Structure 1
Amino acid sequence: MEGKEEHAIGIDLGTTYSCVAVWQHGRVEIIPNEQGNRTTPSYVAFTDSESLVGDGAINQVARNPTNTVFDAKRLIGRRFSDTCVQNDMKLWPFKVIEGSSDKPMIVVHHMGQEKQYTAEDISSMVLGKMRETAEAYIGKTVKNAVVTVPAYFNNSQREATKHASATAGLNVIHMINEPTAAAIAYGLDKKAGWYNNRNVMIFDLGDGTLDVSLLSINTSGVFEVKATVGDTHLGGGDFDSKMVNFCVEEFKRKHNVDLSGNSKALRRLRHACEKAKRRLSYATVTDIEIECLHQGTDFFVSFTRAKFEELNKGFFIKCIEPVVKCLKDAKMDISSVHDVVLAGGSSRIPKVQQLLQDLFKGKQLCKSVNPDEAVAYGAAIQAAALSGNENGMLQGFALLDVTPLSLGVETQGCNVMYVVIPRNTRIPTTMKRSITTLYDYQTAISTPIFEGESPTTLENNFLADFVICNIPPAPKGVAGYYICFDIDADGILCISAENKFTGEKQGCTIISTNKIKQEEFKKSKRKLDRRELSKINQEENVTSKIKCKATETSKRTLDGRVKHAR
């Protein structure tokens, strides 16, 4: 039948390199691109005549740095005002400006015109390239895919990745956390020799993100995630930046010239530093040599592994912190971990491996799976299991994942975070929070939704303001509702409300890719007292709806209505 012949692929959408795989002929096959490479650069270049994705884009980056976009994964689902975005902008040769609703927009020149793209647009082009690569290899149209995301991606980043996948023509049958995918690749390969359950720690250090997950894998093929911790802005790219900054200062010291304003020179220097970083994983010293780097001046520096480790000492220590936290969250001690598996290209760095071994008291690290391919490998297995293309060879395979961040509401009248779904809760899941009116004859309730681990909402990530309107007037405390938090298997949040007494349900999905600036939220929140909410309700004559205001534009509209109501 045609349905059985339809292939589902697994895609590892990486910060610097992406990888695609498929299950066929009874095994996983990593799909090479048209250049024969098993990984494809997550680069998109724009010229006067065409746009290039992958190897074609990275091959011309030296002569076209301002129109070659990379690191889109560091931008996806973020605000322009985020500190990490502002810091990254200083290192990128391409231009990033503030768009509507605080959304970062990438500015390039294409076909003789200035154009703006979102990080989702760039990611969709990379995903489209991976789909085309798979179709050329399989010889059939591919629509269904399992796409991986960092375990610590928040709700907006997951939504944005799913949107990018849809734009690329892909039906995402599941979004899987990267370390979980790596665990599947490792576990399915090794479980034949196991006689008992194994506790496996996955340390996934890529170019832009770090994820640590602790899983229990049984001999029947059930993968249960116990805890996951990570950092969505820590990886090999940060190590490169430290090297670039050192070289810029070295060039200035030697030649008394500052090249930090030369985007083409910085791009060449960054490329040389990235190559040097890779060489230092197997050599103790390497040279960085670039002809005519700036104003016709050559640059040469000898870089030792010791110097590299000194520059990135703070980052390396930061890499170990999530491991300790993950063990604590899982309530498991070091001796209970059977295997420590490395994934992600940056896990090859000797200093990182040494720190991990020291933490686990000399335990040998598992390097049997290719860290560049492990995530796509596991995603392909999950895709085959979900689409039924494995012909029973994965019988018994099951995945039990968790949510990485706590989700909750702000306690009415203060900035205290009330957690509805704690982090590391198994997903999919649904939990409720009871709320009621605080004033007599209150006809609307505003409830802000947050994610994060701080006890105060001021330090957590604001998702949306959830407003229940057209509440029948009654004395305070009489009208009551449940706010229902529902997280699907992809880790995406959906909010609804349920009347405590009638059971009537209403709701909508939170769309949080354009998040409101925290200070604007606070300003709007102060205006939503009982009189204002009541007047908004009366003026709009709202009929039993729940309004989820998740964009800056909606907030400004709400403020305007409040002023008008006054």
Structure 2
Amino acid sequence: MGCTQSQNRKTKNGSNVHVTETRHSDTISINDSESSTSSNDFESSTSNEPVSAIGIDLGTSYSCVGVFRNGKVEIIPNEQGNRLTPSYVAFTDRQWLIGDEAKNRLSINPQDTVFHFKRLIGRKFSDSIVQSNMKRWPFKVINDYEKPKIEVKYKNQIKQFTPEEISSMILIKMKHIAESYLGHTVTSAVITVPASFNDSQRQSTRDAATIAGLKVLRLINESTAAAIAYGLDKQEISNERNILIYDLGGGTFNVSVISLIKGIFEVKSTTGDGDFGGEDCDKRMVKYFVEEFRQKNQKNLSENKHALRRLLRACEHAKVALSSSSLASIEIDSLHEDIDFYSTITRARFEELNDDLFYSTLESVKYALHDAKMNKSQIHEVILVGGSTRIPKVQKILQDFFNGKQLNKSINPDEAVAYGAAIQAAILTENKSKQLKKVLLFDVTSHSLGIESADDVMTVVVERNTILPLKRIHTFTTSVDFQQCVAIKLFQGERSMTKKNHLLGTIDICPITPALKGVPEIQLTFDIDVNGILNISAVEKISGKEKKVTLTGSKMQLSKDELERMINDAKIYQIEDEIEGERLEAKNLLRSYCFNIKTKLNGENLEYIFNDDEKKKIIDVLEEISLWLEINQFAKKEEFEHKLKEAENALPEQSLED
């Protein structure tokens, strides 16, 4: 599949630009998951074969990890038994906490509990999205030369972390969850990103994985992963089927149109909003109840961050309840100034509060259909992905748009993305299952790529929804005599004016052979890989030598030194975290031992084993150790182990442990 196109354009500095386009498609074997994310009995590969790669859905609100082994995908539960792990990181005076433990600390210590940091990654501090979210977050975000950093108190010291470092902590957690389940080390992963992520955000996600000690086999769009989860058992269908993936999660929204025939997935279009999701509905509810509280009590709780966090948690639960019930209750004791707050909200009222948000998603659906050159009657299946698609009004609006078509709810909306990523990981590690060799994937660019021409006009180099990977070659010349360097501004976006698009940076080509203007010819190659990440190279025709190309200015990619430092820091933090975990395990073991022995001594008739003096002596030792334990909560692991031996030695030869 290929095409060639030539055009002549003028850049802002007046130099002539000759554009030659070469398009390549990538035939990548990908397997697909089943119609539901429960285990599917595919043809088994080698039984209990070690797995080297996993699939990770790195979500804004929740993350999920899966693995393909023994012919099926398994979504891996965390230590609490939950298959979804909150994307929360909490910092304490002893350690960092990730997932459920971190989210539980949000109401206790909000300023040091970090969440929704995915909205920072790959962005400048001055970005309007960053500025808008900062107003709502309880934690502090600071400006470090236009790079946003999160400032928290950790181990009684003020620490600053980049969004990549925080993301790496979630990835480390998902890696550990998988390793505990599989019983061996995991080194590689396929990681999903929103389709709306630009080059900077994708590269920053790769950096986060590198910090976490993971090799990224592929970055894959979330909606594409969901399509893989849907389509494996459709491989034998000989007629082309067009499917629309409607992916509304907690923090992002994506729509993709994908054609499927005999296991070949071709993404026709993809669009979305990386800063909109179900949490926006929660915020509307919070605002509604803040006003109700003010009217009932003549008190304004909008400045009470602790109260707002508690109210938000209650609204999250109410939203979930309203998906299956027509009424939900809000009950919070001592919400603000010792005032209890009790209220209810109906599904109708919830829908009224968020009606405009729900209908706004249809614009992305129309946009995706337009780009795919299809009308809604040509869509065979509408697949729901993301927890927020459980909202009844969302389903009704979408079904009405497609003229009553039944929506496909056959895949688990929470797990489908990780499910598809796990299959992609298996394919890229040469899994031997026959099913994994039948699927081909053709993904596309999510944004147009262009350069700045005269009058700040965006001259498109790569159109949105162009098949990946691709290579475009541009020939530039100079506009000034004896120029030694050429600088070109590079943008991503769909607006006609560059100031409305995202500046990736300035392409600096240096040095070039000095000559009269218009004489030098510099071939600039734009190469976008299957991950959607841009690489640039340049060749000067006069000398025939490849020239050094740097992308400077606004690109938020970490430098090599920064990345190396963060990798080393992550290793140190992991070691510290392991030490703290072992310390807590020793403390809990001592506490449990003392409690169990005292319970047996007080609850059983043991005169035939111990006389009263022996029994009293044992209890006294255990009470003394328990008192020591309460005073020395932060003792070292070795001290707890020493006290455990002391407790064990207090027993005569006869043991009560059994």
Aligned partner of residue 312 in structure 1, secondary structure: helix
Task: Decide which of 156, 178, 185 is 2:200's aligned counterpart.
Answer: 156
The change in CA–CA distance for 1:423 and 1:183 in structure 2 (over 3 A counts) is same
Which gives a bigger RCO, structure 1 or 2 (Cα 8 Å, sep 6+)?
2
- Determine which of 502, 513, 518 is the counterpart of 1:461: 502
Counterpart amino acid of 1:291? D
Aligned to 1:361: 403
Classify 1:397/1:503 alpha carbon distance in 2 versus 1 (closer, same or farther; 3 Å). Answer: farther
Q: Which runs of 5+ in 1 are unaligned?
A: 517-566
Using the TM superposition, give the Cα deviation of residue 39 of structure 1 relative to its aligned residue in structure 2, in angstroms. Answer: 0.8
Provide the rounded CA distance (Å) in 1 between the counterparts of 2:212 and 2:123: 20
- Residues 434, 481 of structure 1: 8 Å contact kept: yes
Deviates more, 1:254-263 or 1:375-384: 254-263
CA deviations on 1:6-46 (whole Å, 9 max, x unpaired) are: 42100000111100000011100000111111111111111
2:138 equivalent in structure 1: 93
Aligned residue runs from structure 1 range 332-371, under 5 A: 332-371=374-413
Q: Tell me, yes or no, if the aligned pair for 1:435 and 1:480 is still in contact at 8 Å.
A: yes
Match of 1:525 in 2: none
**Secondary structure at 1:369's aligned position in 2?**
coil
Cα distance in 2 for partners of 1:515, 1:170 equals 21
Q: Which residue of 1 aligns with 2:257?
A: 214
Distance 2:276 2:384 in 1: 16
Which residue of 2 is the match for residue 476 of structure 1?
517
Paired residue type of 1:299: F
C-alpha contact 1:405 1:453 (8 A) present in aligned 2: yes
Q: Which runs of 5+ in 2 are unaligned?
A: 1-45, 558-658
Distance 1:514 1:395 in 2: 37
CA 1:214 to 1:141, structure 2 compared with 1: closer, same or farther past 3 Å? same
TM-fit CA distance, 1:206 = 0.8
Letter aligned with residue 386 of structure 1: L
Aligned to 2:481: 440
Counterpart code for 1:384: A
| Secondary structure of the corresponding residue to residue 371 of structure 1 | coil
| 1:266–1:114 CA distance, 2 compared to 1 (3 A) | same
Task: Give the TM-score normalised by structure 1.
Answer: 0.87
Q: Residues of 1 paired with 2:153 and 2:507: CA distance?
A: 40
Aligned length: 511
What's the CA shift string for 1:339-388, capped at 9, x where partnerless? 00010111111111111111111110000000000000000010001101
Q: Distance in 2 between matches of 1:213 and 1:146?
A: 19
What's the counterpart of residue 174 of structure 1?
218
Quote the offset at 1:498 in angstroms.
Answer: 2.2
| CA drift at 1:4 | 6.9
Whether the aligned pair in 2 keeps the contact of 1:481 and 1:497 (CA below 8 Å) is yes
What TM-score do the two structures reach when normalised by structure 2?
0.75
In structure 2, the partner of 1:241 is 283
Rounded to whole Å, the distance in 2 between the matches of 1:340 and 1:401 is: 19
Looking at structure 1, the residues matched to 169 and 435 of structure 2 have their Cα atoms a distance apart, in angstroms, of: 33
Indicate conservation of the 8 Å contact 2:538/2:549, yes or no. Answer: no
- The 3-state SS of whatever aligns with 2:515 is coil
1:305 maps to 2:347: yes
Instruction: State yes or no: 1:488 paired with 2:522.
Output: no
Deviation beyond 6 Å, 4+ runs, structure 1: none
Matching residue's letter, 2:497: T
- The Cα of 1:209 is off from its aligned counterpart by 0.8
1:134 deviates by 0.3
Task: Note if contact 1:105-1:118 (Cα within 8 Å) is conserved in structure 2.
Answer: yes
**Equivalent residue of 2:505, what SS?**
strand
Rounded to whole Å, the distance in 2 between the matches of 1:125 and 1:231 is 25
**Counterpart in the other structure of 2:563:** none
Shift of 1:390: 4.2
Q: Give 2:179's aligned residue.
A: 135
Distance 1:251 1:335, change over 3 A: same
Query: Deviation digits for residues 150-192 of structure 1, max 9, x if unmatched?
Result: 0110111101111111111111111110000000000013445
Q: Secondary structure at the match of 2:365?
A: helix
Q: Distance in 2 between matches of 1:393 and 1:474?
A: 58
Shift of 1:203: 0.6
Question: CA–CA distance in 2 between the matches of 1:293 and 1:315?
Answer: 28
Whether 1:285 and 2:330 are equivalent positions in the alignment is no
Q: Return the index of the structure with the highest Cα Rg.
A: 2
Which of 148, 163, 188 is the matching residue for 1:104? Answer: 148
Q: Is the partner of 1:448 in helix, strand or coil?
A: strand
1:62 corresponds to which residue?
107
Q: Which residue of 1 aligns with 2:638?
A: none
